[in-house]
Structure 1
Amino acid sequence: MPPPVRSYVLRREDEATHPDSIRAALAEFFSTFIFVFAAEGSIFALDKMYTDTGTTVTSLIMIALASALSLSAAVASSIHVSGGHLNPAITFGALVGGRISLIRAIYYWIAQLLGAIVATLLLRLITAGMRPLGLILASGEGELRGLLLEAVMTFALVYTFYATAIDPKRGSLGIIGPLAIGFILGANILVGGPFDGASMNPARAFGPALVEWRWRHHWIYWLGPFIGAALAGLIYEFMVIPTEAPHHPLHQPLAPEDY
């Protein structure tokens, strides 16, 4: 699905009821389900295999790998239908950048949250009632530091998403977009996992929080990602993507694949 041109609108023509909007929302639901099922499921698997569920290097790598691989696959399976957001923060960054209408953003947010909830419920059913731990700050970590960490990690995620999935001049770079997006998520989990769980995705945090009704520090996993996503969307839109084609008086402009 080619990225739409930048525009700030409530909705595009017939978008609220157009079949493409419904298909896009369904793609967001199923792809978010795929991602959260694997990302949260890796934590369930660790709890099943080991009695000591504390954070270790092995468990951190396993969670980062499961999250990165599942996100890459989920983005690849939906990018041609919905743009492959799978994350309310990415949708918010696209909204701030004018790449998605408000109506479609609302559709995506509902679908993403429902996908995360269903994935968590099914995990609890399949694992014989094992309880999802959810995302909370590590002992000794302050809320402000957690908020800043979520904002910085989500900035990196949304910036990478813009560069590989939205930028009109991305050229052949779009082919490896899902892989790059998965890589930055996995890398950020290796950095932020021991501190706050490294969510970068409000839906990923919301599913377990709702199922287990654990809301401690939950606001951090909404406000931090939304701040980082908004900054990434604005910076990439207005400082990286040119508003008009550059002029090259002495030579022909490069083709997109030559950048």
Structure 2
Amino acid sequence: MAIEKMEMGEVGTSLMSSETKPPPARPPNKFERLFQPCLAELVGTTFFVFIGCVSVIENVESAGRLQPALVHGLAVAVMVACMAEISGSHFNPPFTLAIYLCGGMELNMVAPYLVSQLVGGVLGAAMAKVMTSRENFSKASGAAFALLQTDSDIGAAVFGEVAMTCLVTMVVLLGAVNTTTRSPMVPFMVGCTVIINILAGGDVSGTCLNPARAFGPAIVHNYWVYHWVYWVGPITGGLIAAVLVRLLLGDRKIRLILK
């Protein structure tokens, strides 16, 4: 009798463990490894730039910088939360470069991500042009960054883009890549960082922080005045953030020195 009970207990344990044991994970196929992440970057960047451009083109003067700040920040937070498990939710060339330098992605995906983001920026700006009136679109220069008009403003604008992109890139790296500081709150943190950056530096440089966000409207509206600022500044800021995390702030797996 005792043997029978023991055998029944063993069977019961076996059945219970078989019910709770998760099925073996299926390795991702080629579509999931290569094409789906690029599509996610394309779609995510498209809608981010679309919503951001519309918020600038249709901005109410009484709202000042608050309307574009909230729209860009909340759009980033939503898209990051939705696409994070597909592509990592970069939507920004400096983020992709910094994440690669910190070991967060493979080299063979860097160029496809960058192309997807730039194409998404153009599509998003084109969608904004279709949605908004011709008068408002032209008045806002298609949501391209038309704030800089003289050489005397360039130094402050470049520094602002470098510093603010460095800040938001560090939030991305420490919140999503670095193991010891990784947080499920990273979509909220990145969105909040975008909001405070736009509120703080919107009147200095326009607070681009993203070459794809600048490139799309520049193509669609054909506005290229001081456009290089919005490539040099954000990319430099992203690289500085990557160096800080790689050398000093990262965990032992990421940090190259002082391990």
Is this a same-fold pair by TM over 0.5? yes
- 1:224 equivalent to 2:233? Answer yes
User: What pairs with 1:52-131 in structure 2 (closer than 5 Å)?
Assistant: 58-129=63-134, 130-131=137-138
> Mean alpha-carbon deviation: is it higher for 221-230 or for 17-26?
17-26
Q: Distance in 1 between matches of 2:186 and 2:249?
A: 17
- After TM superposition, the structure 1 = structure 2 runs for residues 1-259 of structure 1, keeping only pairs within 5 Å, are 19-46=32-59, 58-129=63-134, 130-131=137-138, 132-139=142-149, 141-171=152-182, 173=183, 175-243=184-252
Shift of 1:28: 0.6
Is residue 121–residue 211 contact of structure 1 (8 Å, CA) maintained in 2? yes
Q: How many residues align?
A: 220
C-alpha separation in 1, matches of 2:148 and 2:93: 24
Bigger fraction of residues in helix: 2
Could you list the per-position Cα deviations for residues 142-187 of structure 1 after superposition, in whole angstroms to 9, with x for gaps in the alignment?
Answer: 212211110000000000001111111235x2x1100000000110
In the alignment, is the contact (CA less than 8 A) between 1:39 and 1:66 conserved in 2? yes
The root-mean-square deviation of aligned C-alpha atoms, in Å, is 2.0
Q: Is the 8 A contact 2:179 2:251 kept in 1?
A: no
Counterpart residue identity of residue 31, structure 1: G
Alpha-carbon deviation of 1:62?
A: 0.7
CA distance in 2, matches of 1:80, 1:19: 11
**Could you tell me the percent identity over the aligned residues?**
26
Cα distance in 2 for partners of 1:96, 1:163 equals 13
Structure 2, unmatched stretches of 5+, are 1-27, 255-259
CA distance in 1, matches of 2:219, 2:100: 26
Deviation, 1:133, is 3.6
Contact 2:148 2:154 in 1 (8 A): no
Aligned to 1:195, the other structure's residue is in SS state coil
- Deviation for aligned residue 1:114: 1.0
Alpha-carbon shift at residue 128 of structure 1 (Å): 3.8
Aligned partners of 2:153, 2:185: CA distance in 1, in Å? 37
